[in-house]
């Protein structure tokens, strides 16, 4: 059944017609919602959040998190802190130990591990400093217990296996530290896998490993044995297919969107979405604006002006900060790339081009219709570029649930999107572990 969505001009707000049509498409009851007001939706959203497990499937903290004015207990300038979580009634998050890709050398790996340790200390200090308000969760049972006690449940994830270097023994080290979700790459290839965005401007090669390296293939088995949930966001299509062929546990794409809406390898094709469904996994839709909806011609023009300034091939896909093909690409010096990176992100991150909450939920709608409610989740990517008009920090999270209600999603659906599906696949990954074998 084809469903046409129509949105009013208010940022982040779908028209009642859109919600009615979506409800019809899903076969959901809509009489109660048809007469509801904005306040009714927000009130019901708050009631639902109080009753269910809520987990933002992927967010980050900056390296200055926890410093003066940026403490987790203060309603400060970052998109995630405990007051915002409490205001939005989001009771947990998978928080990333993220280190950007750098040189694949012994010195580079050492520095990456140092930075990963720094990020680990920052994240775990939230629970350490405020034990009455937050705790680290090492299992789905921990999440439920922590949230039932009125505290925020922190699930430790690692995005980008760069700190692992060439040593799979590091996976044991990070498991013992509490990491329970692991993503192979970010922007740029590493020794485990090809990225969906190889950094050609820094010398990466397209298809360097043909997907996973031999080390990466062994890492899949190691992660399965440890019961760590494999995150397939950001890896190349070939690497994704290989992970799905090798893993004996379901996977999560912790912050990925639909390529049918933005045609870029960073997003997932319909075939990849369906493959993750067959695996039993979950795709968490990401509120990073550049991956939510295409940006306008004006933004493409500005971005291409920046590209020409640095001798970078022009690109019609505004989301492609880095070229998608090697043709005409020159390797930039670290200083040139840093300057280019700043300028291109001024365009892609311009608030004038930010997607709306309604457009973000369009992504959820699309993927739910494609692979079913049991295989979809929600991620903000806050503090790493995420945020849309209407959901720009964790404190605004009830707006998102109100929008889902407006479109006809049931309480059961919302419980699955906000954490139920995440806990299910994590439980399955842990049940299939073979630690000590």
Q: What is the pLDDT of residue 295?
A: 87
Residue indicated by tokens 């939230």: 126
Please name the fold of domain 17-293+355-431.
TIM Barrel (3.20.20)
Per the CB < 8 A criterion, the answer to whether 46 and 91 are in contact is no
Give CA–CA dist 57/426, Å, rounded.
Answer: 12
SS3 228: coil
Q: What is the pLDDT of residue 4?
A: 31
Interhelix angle 297-309/334-348, nearest 10 degrees: 170
Q: What is the pLDDT of residue 37?
A: 80
Q: What is the pLDDT of residue 327?
A: 87
Q: What is the pLDDT of residue 2?
A: 33
Q: How many CB atoms lie within 10 A of CB 118?
A: 13
Tell me how far CA of residue 80 lies from CA of 66, 282, 351, 390, in angstroms: 11, 23, 19, 15
Closest CA to 265 of 295, 231, 235, 303: 235
Q: What is the pLDDT of residue 286?
A: 97
What is the torsional sign of CA 243, 173, 55, 248?
A: positive
Q: What is the pLDDT of residue 22?
A: 41
All structural domains of the chain with their residue ranges: 17-293+355-431, 295-354
Give CA–CA dist 376/184, Å, rounded.
Answer: 20
Tell me how far CA of residue 195 lies from CA of 191, 198, 281, 413, in angstroms: 10, 5, 20, 32
Give the angle 279-285-287 at the CA atoms, nearest 5°. Answer: 160
Q: What is the pLDDT of residue 20?
A: 38
Q: What is the pLDDT of residue 36?
A: 66
Burial per residue of 367-390, b for 16 or more beta-carbon CB atoms within 10 angstroms, e otherwise: bbebbebbbbbbbbbbbbbbbbbb
Closest CA to 374 of 413, 428, 431, 426: 413
* Beta strands in 13-91, from DSSP E residues, in sequence order: 56-59
The tens place of each residue's pLDDT in the chain, 437 residues long, gives: 333 333 333 333 333 334 433 443 444 434 344 446 888 999 999 999 999 999 999 999 999 999 999 999 999 999 999 999 999 999 999 999 999 999 999 999 999 999 999 999 999 999 999 999 999 999 999 999 999 999 999 999 999 999 999 999 999 999 999 999 999 999 999 999 999 999 999 999 999 999 999 999 999 999 999 999 999 999 999 999 999 999 999 999 999 999 999 999 999 999 999 999 999 999 999 999 999 998 899 999 999 999 999 999 998 876 777 888 888 899 999 999 999 999 999 998 899 999 999 999 999 999 999 999 999 999 999 999 999 999 999 999 999 999 999 999 999 999 999 999 999 999 999 999 997 65
Closest CA to 302 of 348, 336, 337, 335: 348
Q: What is the pLDDT of residue 76?
A: 96
Q: What is the pLDDT of residue 18?
A: 40
* Residue 4 exposed, middle or buried by CB count within 10 Å (0-12, 13-18, 19+): exposed
CA contacts within 13 A on the Cβ side of 137: 29
Residue indicated by tokens 């293939």: 217
Give CA–CA dist 363/370, Å, rounded.
Answer: 11
Any residues with CB less than 8 A from the CB of 335 and at least 6 apart, and which?
none
């Amino acid at each position: 059944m084809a469903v046409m969505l129509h949105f009013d001009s208010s940022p982040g707000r779908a028209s009642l017609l859109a919600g009615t049509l979506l409800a019809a498409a899903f076969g959901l009851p809509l009489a109660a919602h048809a007469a509801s007001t904005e306040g009714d939706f927000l009130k019901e959203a708050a009631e639902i959040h109080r009753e269910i497990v809520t987990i933002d499937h992927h967010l980050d903290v900056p390296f200055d998190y926890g410093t003066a004015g940026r403490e987790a207990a203060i309603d400060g300038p970052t998109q995630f802190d405990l007051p915002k979580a409490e205001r939005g009634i989001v009771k947990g998050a998978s928080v990333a130990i993220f280190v950007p890709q750098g040189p694949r050398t012994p010195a580079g790996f050492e520095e990456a591990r140092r930075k990963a340790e720094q990020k680990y200390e920052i994240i775990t200090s939230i629970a350490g400093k405020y034990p009455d308000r937050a705790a680290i969760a090492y299992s789905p049972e921990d999440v439920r217990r922590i949230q039932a006690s009125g505290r925020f449940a922190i699930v430790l994830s690692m995005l980008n296996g760069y700190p692992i270097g060439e040593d799979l023994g590091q996976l044991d080290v990070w498991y013992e530290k509490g990491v329970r979700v692991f993503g192979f790459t970010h922007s740029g290839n590493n020794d485990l896998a090809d990225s969906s965005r190889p950094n050609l401007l820094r010398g990466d090669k397209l298809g360097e490993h043909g997907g996973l390296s031999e080390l990466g293939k062994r890492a899949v088995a190691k992660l399965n044995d440890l019961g760590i949930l494999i995150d397939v966001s950001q890896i190349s299509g070939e690497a994704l297919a290989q992970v799905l062929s090798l893993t004996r546990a379901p996977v999560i794409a912790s912050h990925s969107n639909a390529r049918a809406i933005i045609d870029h390898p960073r997003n997932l094709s319909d075939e990849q979405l369906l493959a993750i469904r067959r695996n039993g996994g979950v795709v968490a839709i990401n509120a990073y604006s550049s991956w939510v909806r295409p940006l306008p011609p004006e933004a493409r023009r500005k971005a291409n002006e920046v590209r020409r300034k640095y001798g970078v091939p022009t690109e019609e896909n505004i989301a492609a900060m880095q070229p998608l093909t090697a043709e005409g690409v020159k390797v930039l010096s670290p200083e040139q790339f840093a300057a280019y990176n700043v300028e291109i992100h001024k365009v892609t991150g311009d608030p004038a081009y930010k997607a709306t909450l309604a457009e973000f939920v369009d992504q959820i709608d699309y993927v739910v219709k494609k692979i079913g409610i049991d295989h979809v989740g929600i991620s903000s990517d806050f503090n790493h570029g995420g945020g849309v008009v209407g959901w720009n920090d964790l404190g605004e999270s009830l707006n998102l649930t109100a929008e889902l209600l407006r479109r006809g999603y049931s309480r059961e659906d919302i419980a699955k999107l906000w954490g139920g599906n995440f806990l299910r696949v994590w439980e399955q990954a842990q049940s299939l572990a073979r630690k000590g074998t």
